[in-house]
Structure 1
Amino acid sequence: MDELVKPQWEVTDYRTFVSGITKEMLDAAKVDFATCQKQVLALLHGKILVGHGLKSDLSVLGITHPWYMIRDTAKYEPYMKIRYQDGGLWPRALKDLCKEMLNRDIQVQGRAHCPKEDAMAALDLYKCVLEPWENSMEYHWNRSITMQRHRMARQQRAVVAM
Structure 2
Amino acid sequence: MGRVEVAANAKTTISLPQPVPSHRDMMRGNVTVKEPCVLLENPSGDHFVEELRHMVMGNHVLSESQKLPGQYLAIDCEMVGVGPQGSESALARVSIVNYHGHIILDTFVQPREPVTDYRTWISGVRAQDLITGRDFADVGKEVAELLEGKVLVGHAIENDLKALMLAHPGPLTRDTQAYKGLREKLNNKRPGLAKASQQLLGIQIQTGAHSSVIDARVTMAIYRLFKKEWEKSVWHLTEAYRNKHKGAQPEAAPAEEEGSAEEVSTSAPELFPSSSSHTNPKTSGQRTGKKKSKLQEFPGGGRKGISSGLSVIVRRGGKRVGGTGRGDGSRRMDRDRGAEAGRASSGGSGGNWWESA
Give the alignment's TM-score, normalised by structure 1.
0.78
Partners of 2:194 and 2:182 in 1: CA distance: 12
**Which residue number in structure 2 is paired with residue 24 of structure 1?**
128
Partners of 1:69 and 1:142 in 2: CA distance: 10
**Which residue number in structure 1 is paired with residue 193 of structure 2?**
94
CA contact (8 A) 2:183 2:190 kept: yes
Gaps of 5+ in 2: 1-104, 242-357
Report the secondary structure of 1:98's partner residue.
helix
More helix by share: 1
**Alpha-carbon spacing, 1:94–1:18, altered in 2? closer, same or farther (3 Å):** same
Q: How does 1:105-120 map to 2 (within 5 A)?
A: 105-108=204-207, 111-120=208-217
CA contact (8 A) 1:81 1:92 kept: no
Say whether residues 1:2 and 2:101 are aligned partners: no
Q: How does 1:142-157 map to 2 (within 5 A)?
A: none
Which has the higher Rg, Structure 1 or Structure 2? Answer: 2
CA contact (8 A) 2:151 2:173 kept: yes
Q: What are the superposed Cα offsets for residues 35-85 of structure 1, whole Å, 9 maximum, x if unpaired?
A: 011000000011111110101111111111111111110111111159x9x
**Which residue number in structure 1 is paired with residue 256 of structure 2?**
none
**Which residue number in structure 1 is paired with residue 100 of structure 2?**
none
CA contact (8 A) 1:51 1:72 kept: yes
**Which residue number in structure 1 is paired with residue 158 of structure 2?**
55
**Alpha-carbon spacing, 1:103–1:6, altered in 2? closer, same or farther (3 Å):** same
**Which residue number in structure 1 is paired with residue 202 of structure 2?**
103
Cα offset, 1:90, TM superposition: 1.8
Partners of 1:131 and 1:66 in 2: CA distance: 20
Q: 74, 82, 100: which is aligned to 2:177?
A: 74
Partners of 2:141 and 2:239 in 1: CA distance: 31
CA contact (8 A) 2:181 2:226 kept: no
* Consecutive aligned runs of 4 or more in structure 1 exceeding 3 Å deviation: 139-144
- What is the aligned-residue identity percentage? 34
Report the secondary structure of 2:222's partner residue.
helix
User: RCO (CA 8 Å, sep 6+): is it higher in 1 or 2?
Assistant: 1
Partners of 2:175 and 2:214 in 1: CA distance: 16
Partners of 2:139 and 2:200 in 1: CA distance: 32
Partners of 1:97 and 1:139 in 2: CA distance: 28
Partners of 1:143 and 1:44 in 2: CA distance: 19
**Alpha-carbon spacing, 1:22–1:142, altered in 2? closer, same or farther (3 Å):** closer
Q: 122, 136, 139: which is aligned to 2:233?
A: 136
The letter of the residue matching 2:226 is V
CA contact (8 A) 2:172 2:238 kept: no
Partners of 1:71 and 1:143 in 2: CA distance: 16
**Alpha-carbon spacing, 1:46–1:142, altered in 2? closer, same or farther (3 Å):** closer
- Say how many residue pairs are matched: 137
Give the alignment's TM-score, normalised by structure 2.
0.36
